[in-house]
Structures are given as structure tokens and as C-alpha cells.
Amino acid sequence: QQPVQSPQAVILREGEDAVINCSSSKALYSVHWYRQKHGEAPVFLMILLKGGEQKGHEKISASFNEKKQQSSLYLTASQLSYSGTYFCGTEMRGGGSQGNLIFGKGTKLSVKP
Amino acid sequence: EADIYQTPRYLVIGTGKKITLECSQTMGHDKMYWYQQDPGMELHLIHYSYGVNSTEKGDLSSESTVSRIRTEHFPLTLESARPSHTSQYLCASSEGQGRNTEAFFGQGTRLTVV
């Protein structure tokens, strides 16, 4: 049930772009994206709902392919503050699993000057 | 700013002790969650709740138990703490059924069992 994230880690120079992927083997209601900095709680970035609705920050963009149960998070013109671990979380459709938010293993992003 | 609070922030306790980690939110959220996270590692869902008197086990088997007697309160209890329970425990909440919104996280409780 756990979504699969890739890559596991990525190192960028300031200003470079990155894409983080998340996929699930189950039908999804929604995909969430969070960023966690060392020693802090995860912070919400974006939620993508089936049907195409998105809610999130202006500088972050993401896509959700409902047929493939895949989502991608796009980080453009990266800044030092983007460093952290990015987690995708999924809420599955149907049965007893609906509504429980399961996270992937995370993608460690480091942005260097 | 999220109104979800966890206490204590840090706890060092001896093996065999009973502990309760507190989590409260003032947003009126129906859904609440408990996650276990080792440093630098993934978030494991151990318990969740859809509302009052609703509790479910998550993906990661845990010896802890939870209760949801009030909407705002979702405490987690370990009857007999062991060193293997050493970890960070994060509580989160989100709006209820049919309204898919973001989860707000508390600052976590870092538990050390010696």
C-alpha cells in the first residue's frame, strides 16, 4: 500500500530544476506532498485530488495521473530553502483503507550554492 | 499556523513504564493520525481515527493503543515501554470525510526508552 517515491536522493545547484515522482499500485483519492526539514515536522506543499483539482503553494507545481496512479512534484529554479526531505502521501479509494494517509519513503533533496 | 499540539516534546523513560503521549487540535478536524518516524527515515502510520469513538490500526504494527473520546484529543498509550519503542511520534489532523485537505502535523514527541 505504501507509495513508491523516486529518486531516493537528489543534489542540485541553486537555480536548477528537479522532479520527484510518486506511484501507487492502488486506486487513489488524492496525493499529498510534504517537505520536512531536519528536526522539524512535515509541512504541507500540495494536494492533488481525483478530477484534477489542486490546492497548494504558488511556487510548487505537481501533476496527478489518475489512470496510472502516479504523481510528480516539480521544483523549478530551486533555492537553498528547498532543501529537505519530500514525502508523498496517498489516500486510497474504497474499502477500509479510504482516508488513511500513507507516506512514501521520502526523497532527500539538497540544494547547494 | 496549525493549531495542533503534542506533549511532551521530549521524554526519557525507563523500561516497563506506562506512558501516554498527548495530542490535541483546536481546528475541529475529524481525522487524526499517529505516525512513528526514526531520525531521517520514513513516516509510518500506526493509528488513525475518522472521528469520535473511531480508531483504526495503520500499516505499521504497533504495541501502542489510542483512544478518541473527544474530537480534539487523540492520546497514544504504551502500557509497558521498551527500548524498541524509542523513536519520534508525530500526530496529525485533517478535515473529515469528503473534504480532502492537507494534514497538519504537531511538533512531535521524541521518546527514548532506557
Distance, in Å, from the CA atom of B97 to the CA atom of A83, rounded to the nearest integer, reads 33
Contact assignment for B40 to A1 by CB distance below 8 Å:
no
Low-confidence ranges of chain A (pLDDT < 70): 53, 55-58, 93-99
Q: Is A3 exposed, middle or buried, given 0-12, 13-18 or 19+ CB atoms closer than 10 A?
A: buried
Residue of A nearest to B109 (CA): A41
Check residue A93 and give its pLDDT.
66
CATH 2.60.40.10 fits A4-112, yes or no: yes
- Host domain of residue B38: 4-113
Query: How much is the average pLDDT of B86-92?
Result: 97
pLDDT at A57: 67
pLDDT in tens, B36-88: 999 889 999 999 998 999 999 988 878 999 999 999 999 999 999 999 999 99
Stretch B97-104: mean pLDDT, rounded? Answer: 72
pLDDT of residue B95: 86
Which sequence spans correspond to the domains of chain A?
A: 4-112
Are residues A1 and B59, on separate chains, in Cβ contact within 8 Å? yes
If one counts the domains in chain B, the total is 1
pLDDT given for residue A60 in this prediction: 80
CB-CB neighbors (< 8 A) of B62 in chain A? none
Q: Would you call A84 an interface residue with chain B, using a CB distance cutoff of 8 Å?
A: no
- Mean pLDDT in residue range B22-38: 95
Contact assignment for A2 to B40 by CB distance below 8 Å: no
For chain B, say whether A96 makes contact (Cβ under 8 Å): yes
The mean pLDDT of chain B is 92
Cβ A44–B50 below 8 Å, yes or no? no
Query: Could you tell me the CATH number of the domain that includes residue B52?
Result: 2.60.40.10
